[in-house]
Amino acid sequence: MIKIKTLFTISCSILLASCYAQMPTDSTAEKMLVYQLGNGGWPKQLEDKSVVNYGATLTPELLAKVKATTDKHATFDNKATSREVVYLIGAYKKTENKAYLMAAEKGLDYILAAQYPNGGWPQYYPDQSLYRSQITFNDDAMINVLNILRDITEKKNDFDLVDQRYDGRAEKAIVKGIDCILKTQFKQNGELSIWAAQYDKDTMLPAKARNFEPASLATSESVGIIRFLMGVKSPSAEVKKSIAAAVKWFDTYKISGYRFDREKGKTAALVQDDSSMAWARFYDLDKNVPIFGDRDNSIKLKLEELIPERRNGYAWYGNWGQKLIEKEYPKWLATKGK
């Protein structure tokens, strides 16, 4: 009898191992499992400052660098963590490999743990050095996270596959996140304008990041915020007011008939284009005039005053608000804005 039980146990183990070995896999998702940090987040750079690249082969040398990367490198910057969570959910739907779902849910736990009591998210968590602890809209870091949480509550983009225990947690986090957005919308003489790229986590006032990223109104990030708010199913009067004021700001300060040219070999500049409209990336908090940060921490009022490396190495102007003004806001106004 004992021998039969032993043989049965061995047979089951072999069968399970065989099933696991035959389970469909996704090559990129497999690498994401390797890169995931102990706290559930993902880095954008490894310990040696090399950029995470899922297209690279995991050689023994690269694997050693990955393993040497500590939890302090977990971040939301440059789509890190949000990118992996979204991809892994899709990979799980495609393969039904539960390892991918488990990793994505661990990423969700990290996202929820990183939110401040005031509703904001930092650029990095748990690293508090430099500007990494600031509430960060820069490069859509906080909005990317909020979009994932909204997908959970609305059962969209395959996020109906995550455990239902995330539903309530995601909903609460979104409420806090929207509250943070409304509280950080910058006021000029009592009137709402748009948002800064990052804020002090305690005072919730606009803050600088890198030397060429001064405390200022940030147009690119503000468009992402407006789009998120327009996605609220039943917007409150406060949300409607916030959207209307921000769009009014964009309409007031648009530069009609120009686009930003950054072609290789050319000096970056605004060029005439009757079909386009443009905005500077950053505006003075009170005067609403374009400002440009340089490597030496100085602020210039003209693009031409920047050193060549900075002038050509950053998107100082863009058409970020054009589609918003011409199509998206009118459509929202007709459906939800009344």
The arithmetic mean of pLDDT across residues 164-183, rounded, is: 98
pLDDT of residue 12: 47
* Residue range 191-224, pLDDT digits in tens: 999 999 999 999 999 999 999 999 999 999 999 9
pTM metric for this prediction: 0.91
pLDDT of residue 8: 45
Residue 18 has pLDDT above 80, yes or no: no
The arithmetic mean of pLDDT across residues 89-93, rounded, is: 98
Helix %, strand %, coil % for the chain, to 5?
A: 50, 15, 35
Label residues 101-113 b or e (16+ Cβ within 10 Å = b).
bebbbbbbebbbe
Indicate which residues carry an active-site annotation: 78, 210
Strand partners, 318: 279
Q: Give 15 or 288, the one with higher predicted confidence.
A: 288
Asked whether the beta carbons of 232 and 239 are under 8 A apart, the reply is: yes
* Residue range 116-150, pLDDT digits in tens: 999 999 999 999 999 999 999 999 999 999 999 99
Locate 236 and state its tokens.
């409150």
Band of pLDDT at residue 22, cut at 50, 70 and 90: low
pLDDT of residue 27: 97
Which residue in 81, 89, 237 sits closest to 151, CA to CA?
89
Residue 72 has pLDDT above 50, yes or no: yes
Count other C-beta atoms under 10 Å from residue 114's C-beta: 22
pLDDT of residue 21: 53
Above pLDDT 70, what percent of the chain? 93
The C-alpha atoms of residue 259 and residue 322 are separated, in whole angstroms, by 11
Backbone angles phi, psi at 74, to 5 degrees: -65, 135
pLDDT of residue 2: 43
Band of pLDDT at residue 45, cut at 50, 70 and 90: very high
Residue 13 has pLDDT above 60, yes or no: no
pLDDT of residue 338: 75
* Residue range 264-280, pLDDT digits in tens: 778 899 999 999 999 99
Asked whether the beta carbons of 332 and 251 are under 8 A apart, the reply is: no
pLDDT of residue 262: 85
Angle of helix 98-114 relative to helix 82-95, nearest 10 degrees, comes to 160
pLDDT of residue 53: 97
pLDDT of residue 265: 73
Count other C-beta atoms under 10 Å from residue 152's C-beta: 25
